[in-house]
Amino acid sequence: MTIHLPQAQNSTENTSNAETLIAKKTLFSVMLVVLFSCAGIALPYPVLAPIFLNEISPLTTFADLPSKILLGIILAIYPLGVILGSSVLGAASGVYGRKKTLIITLMLTVVGYVLSALAVMAESFLLLIFARFITGVFSGNISIAKAIAIDLSPTLDKTHTFNLVNATGYIGWLLGPLAGGLLAIYGLDTVFYFAALALVIALFSVTLVLQPDKTNLNKTQVKFSQLFSKQNSFALLANTKIRRIFLIYLLATLGLNAYYEFYPVWLVENFNFSSLNIGYITVVLTFFMTITSVFFVKKLKVIMGLKFGAIFGMLSLALLLGLHMVLSLSSLWPVYAITGISIAIFNGLLPVYISEQYADIEQGQLMGLITTTFSLANVLMALIGSVLALLGAHWAILFGAVLLIIASVDFHFSQEDIR
């Protein structure tokens, strides 16, 4: 039977439309996972600083340590777990399947949040540390979600999908602190229970929407123990070029985390902000991050390219962090709005640059390394910054500005431009 050319074209278009529809549904499910995961991560943040700075309980006086040191430990232990989890989970998703790995880790993350709530009710600092660590380990599954989004290329544009996932994360960071501030009156345990409930919704989305994993017999023969020895994300650092770009990414995210982790402390110290007020200003910050990521980052990539766009974002963020020495209550809100724009620019372009530059590497493993590096920066800055914050939280933020400048200079001279 002869197939006429228009019929063949229609068949091709229908196939393309079907693939695009499946890709969009997958992207939606991934975005929902990132939304609720990031919201769950951010929920306790506006509650923790006021509790540890203003309240006296077994949680805030453990071992007679200064409350800021205890807060630093709490802030550090979660990303320490993410470091362990994301270094393995991204690679595991490439071996055992993205959907299967994501479902299992979401279930275990829910367990971690419930355990955190129980630790707060028991006022056990050690149990809370353990629960936050376990939650962090399985929250490393955000690297799987990002890998799934990148897998949708070329059906969907990689820069666009990655920034949509980023934007969804920003919305999570917007809703999380706001919800945390509103729920603070009911106690920190309620905040953790709410985070668990949100992730149950994400779990249902993944189960129902994501396409079944395609089995790969060669990959499934990889032993589980090899994920920790040969297949983990840190193994990529054997490559000298990757090691250099991830050193730059580490410095940049150290600077970013200096701001993320200590602006709530700075706001309490300088303006006596409550949990609710911290939630409100975080809404402003993340609103502008979201708008910039959705509507402007892709355009900036076209105008400036991935490299120089990322450098512009890092340097502008460094300048804004430096302004914390002179910020007043009246100038605080517009500066935080502009800060959100700068964060979205560099955080949206630098990971895409890494993905494009090393497109031949399994993206789950690569995204695992990106998430691991960010979390390593989170841990290091929580520990270093808590010591600097003993002299004043602004010193931790200023230290972050210096690291961003160093990262920008190294990035400019060591990496080539790609578009």
**pLDDT tens-digit readout, 268-307:** 999 998 877 887 888 888 789 889 988 888 889 889 989 9
Predicted confidence band at 206 (pLDDT cuts at 50, 70, 90)?
confident
- Taking CA 251 as the corner, what is the angle to CA 246 and CA 256, rounded to the nearest 5 degrees? 115
Which tokens is 265 given? 């402390």
Q: Which residue in the block uniquely carries the two structure tokens 């300048």?
A: 319
222: helix, coil or strand?
Answer: coil
Position 229 pLDDT exceeds 70: no
- CA nearest to 387, candidates 69, 27, 159: 69
Q: What is the pLDDT of residue 308?
A: 94
Which tokens is 54 given? 């203003």
Q: What is the pLDDT of residue 1?
A: 47
- Mean pLDDT across the stretch 89-111? 86
Element (H, E) at 68: helix 67-96
Q: What is the pLDDT of residue 10?
A: 60
Q: What is the pLDDT of residue 373?
A: 85
- Mean pLDDT across the stretch 180-197? 83
Position 121 pLDDT exceeds 80: yes
- Mean pLDDT across the stretch 323-336? 94
Which tokens is 386 given? 């808590």
Instruction: Spell out the alpha helix ranges (H) of 5-65.
Output: 5-42, 45-54
For 97: left if phi > 0, alpha if psi spans -120 to 50, otherwise beta; the answer is: left
Cα–Cα dist 390/265, whole Å:
11
Which tokens is 121 given? 């009710």
Cα–Cα dist 143/373, whole Å:
11
* Farthest-apart Cα atoms in the chain, separation: 85
Element (H, E) at 339: helix 329-357
Share of the chain above pLDDT 90, in %: 28
Q: What is the pLDDT of residue 223?
A: 56
- CA nearest to 94, candidates 305, 369, 391, 327: 369
Mean pLDDT across the chain: 84
The answer to whether residues 42 and 180 touch, using CB atoms and an 8 Å cutoff, is yes
Q: What is the pLDDT of residue 202?
A: 86
